Amino acid sequence: MDLIDLRSDTVTKPTSEMLAAMAAAEVGDDVFGEDPTVKKLEETAARIMGKEACLLVTSGTMGNLVAVLTHTKKGEEVLLESESHIYYYEVGGLSALAGAMPRLVQGQRGRITPQGLADAVRPGNIHFPSPSLLCLENTHNRGGGTVSTPSEMHEVIALARQLGLRIHLDGARIFNAALAAGVRVSALAEGCDSVMFCLSKGLGAPVGSLLAGSREFINSARKWRKMVGGGMRQSGVIAAAGLVALETMTERLAEDHANAKFLAAGLANIPKLTLDADLVQTNIVVVELGQELGGADDFLTRLKAEGVLATNFGPHSVRFVTHKDVNRQGVDYALQVIARMVR
């Protein structure tokens, strides 16, 4: 039996069109600036994001790290949401490698509000590190795939500017956010000095993320990427799949969102599980398990025995992520298994 793998949209396999493009890719040494496929991907992505330039990096984590390294100096303060991916899931790279001091902002399901930011920024004082960067995340992973609209983002960005901060957007799933908000991705990137987004999540490419910004920012980011080991030589093989992802995979995310809503509505009807299905906006569904069900790890082990995979999102919470490699039938099967298990 095939597993219904709802652990993450990162598990998606490349499409046959991607594999064909990879095999046929024209490549060169990208460290010499000679890989035509990488150049084409970087130019295409910059245009889509409404930025001057773009840089292909191995992963979202590397893209965020290179952004922090490029924007900040050691000891400076980086403001970010308390459950943001950069803070929660990136091995502390912003402190360990960029030497930055995180200062957490309390968000609303991951969204930073102007008031939240104003409360977190301290007035200049000899005792405090100098704040220099604000990181936003859209969609917000631990918030449950929540979307910030352009107007919500612009309010926070305007305040951040007044406070003299630069702005980086972790847009790992920015195409999901744009689709749910009914806007172009460039509208969500507008006002941000840099934006990182992933090709290897819902868009299905095997590897790769992009960091976009001004030409000056990207020139500097390119050197930081080299320093952290991201000079990838014939990376056109990867870029070729990324181009197919941008051309063919963004609109179908609507299917993942519909499947997530279907899953959420079904889970909300199962006793001992708590979630507000109306709050599910994209492809992430987080559910709270009643105490009587035991802990998340135990629940996930029992689920796996029935052929369904999800991830631990806290002692009593579990995350499901919909994506192209699980169809409606698979989601329905997962629901039936969970209903049976919980009963």
198 in contact with ligand TLP (CB under 6 A): yes
Close Cβ partners of 329 (under 8 Å, ≥ 6 residues apart):
none
Cα 250–Cα 188–Cα 137 angle in degrees, nearest 5? 90
Question: Pick from 12, 148, 194, 209: which binds ligand TLP (CB under 6 A)?
Answer: 209
Looking at this protein, which amino acid is placed at residue 53? A
Which residues are CB-contacts of 223 (< 8 A; sequence separation ≥ 6)?
A: none
Q: Which of 93, 102, 174 is nearest to 133 (CA)?
A: 102
Applying CB under 6 A, the site for ligand TLP has a residue count of 14
Q: How far is the CB of 185 from ligand TLP (least distance, A)?
A: 15
By CB under 6 A, residue 312 contacts ligand TLP: no
Nearer of residues 109 and 342 to ligand TLP, judged by Cβ:
109
Bridge-based pairing of strands 77-81 and 101-105 is parallel
Q: Does residue 190 belong to the site contacting ligand TLP (CB under 6 A)?
A: no
Nearest CA to 111 out of 151, 74, 56 is that of 151
Of residues 133 through 152, those in contact with ligand TLP by CB under 6 A are 137, 141
**Nearest of 255, 320, 264 to residue 5 by alpha carbon:** 320
Nearer to ligand TLP, 91 or 158 (CB): 91
172 binds ligand TLP (CB under 6 A): yes
Comparing CB distances to ligand TLP, the nearer of 8 and 317 is 8
Rounded Cα gap, residues 54 and 52, in angstroms: 7
Residue 33 or 56 with smaller CB distance to ligand TLP? 56
Q: Enter the tokens of residue 194.
A: 């840099």
Give whichever of 96 and 158 is closer to ligand TLP, judged by the CB atom. Answer: 96
For ligand TLP, the binding residues in 52-81 under the rule CB under 6 A are: 59-61
Q: Rounded to a whole number, what is the distance in angstroms from the first to the last CA of the chain?
A: 23
* 32 vs 91, beta carbon nearer ligand TLP: 91
194 binding ligand TLP? (CB under 6 A): no
- Looking at the Cβ atoms of 59 and 194, the one nearer to ligand TLP is 59
CA–CA distance, 26 with 21 (Å, rounded to integer): 9
One-letter amino acid of 96: A
Measured from the CB of residue 171, what is the shortest distance to ligand TLP in angstroms?
Answer: 8
Q: Is 281 in the site for ligand TLP (CB under 6 A)?
A: no
- Minimum distance of ligand TLP from residue 56's CB (angstroms): 12
Three-state DSSP class for 158? helix
List contacts with ligand TLP (CB under 6 A).
Answer: 8, 10, 59-61, 85, 89, 137, 141, 170, 172, 198, 200, 209
